Amino acid sequence: CKDGERGKNFYIINSGEVELRHKDGFSYVLGAGECFGASALIFDTPRYYTVVAKGPVQCWAISALEFHRLHLADHALHLKRAFQAHASVEKNDTQSMGAEDFLRFSHAKEAFPPDKYERLCSFLLALVTLNRLGRAADPKQAAPGDAAQSHIQFSDFVRFHLTIDRPFDSLPAEIAFKLVDRTQRGNVALPALLEFLQEF
């Protein structure tokens, strides 16, 4: 596992030790019974650490698909049905939601005050797609020449559920950070923070 790579598996250490090294210089060691790789799968972001074995290591690897099934248990079926019921875009046997599909699913028209509707829709779409939609762009318009990026995938849908299904005391800060972290690298520059404060 290398910093910046997309996560494909979740790992549980059976024996041995690994060192997780951050590009900023700090690191820590994990041993038998501990695990790594969950955040990249839950939030569909690049890995924040490079993982290096400190000798012989044996790990169990769980694929992203199986990880989500285990993490969500039977609730995964409910999410899948809800997604399929609202996804109007189909390409290569894969369903996805357009921006309007997701806004209908979330009952945005009924939930948001009319005078704040456009701004809150932009906020919601930015959150569910980790800034691919919304944020200083028309949230209802597809990106020319890049249709896949303008659609909401099932992985986006699941990650959104996992994000908002948290204790409320930590939720606002986590949502704000995800919206400010446009590159999804786990850090935020001051100009990005100021831009976010101006927008929202």
Q: What is the tens place of the pLDDT at every residue in 71-121?
A: 655 566 677 788 889 999 888 888 888 888 888 888 888 888 888 888 788
pLDDT at 130 over 50: yes
pLDDT in the model for residue 51: 93
Helical axes 154-164 vs 64-72, angle rounded to 10°: 40
Please give the distance of CA 163 from its chain centroid, rounded to a whole number.
8
What does the mean pLDDT of the chain come to? 76
180 against 102, higher pLDDT: 102
Q: Which residues of 112-149 are buried (b: 16+ CB within 10 A; e: fewer)?
A: beeeeeeeebbbbbbbbbbbbbbbeeebbebeeeeeee
pLDDT at 186 over 70: no
pLDDT in the model for residue 39: 76
pLDDT in the model for residue 15: 95
The residue-averaged pLDDT of 157-174 equals 63
pLDDT in the model for residue 143: 40
pLDDT in the model for residue 136: 45
Beta-strand pair 27-30/18-22:
antiparallel
pLDDT in the model for residue 54: 93
Q: What percent of the chain has pLDDT over 90?
A: 14
Q: Which two tokens stand for residue 176?
A: 């704000």
Burial grade of 175 (CB within 10 A; 0-12, 13-18, 19 or more): middle
The residue-averaged pLDDT of 63-72 equals 74
Which of 40-44, 51-55, 166-170 is the most confident on average? Answer: 51-55
5 against 149, higher pLDDT: 5
The residue-averaged pLDDT of 131-139 equals 53
Q: Which residues contact 23 (CB under 8 A, 6 or more apart)?
A: 3, 50
pLDDT at 33 over 80: yes
Output the pTM of the full model: 0.50
Q: Which of 33-42, 63-72, 110-119 has the lowest mean pLDDT?
A: 63-72
Q: 178 falls in which pLDDT band (50, 70, 90)? A: low
Cβ atoms of 181 and 187 closer than 8 Å: yes
Q: Which two tokens stand for residue 57?
A: 């290591």
Residue 135 to residue 4: CA distance in whole angstroms: 23
Backbone angles phi, psi at 147, to 5 degrees: -60, -35
Q: Which residues contact 178 (CB under 8 A, 6 or more apart)?
A: 43, 127, 130, 131, 163, 184
3-class DSSP state of 131? coil
Cβ atoms of 40 and 3 closer than 8 Å: no
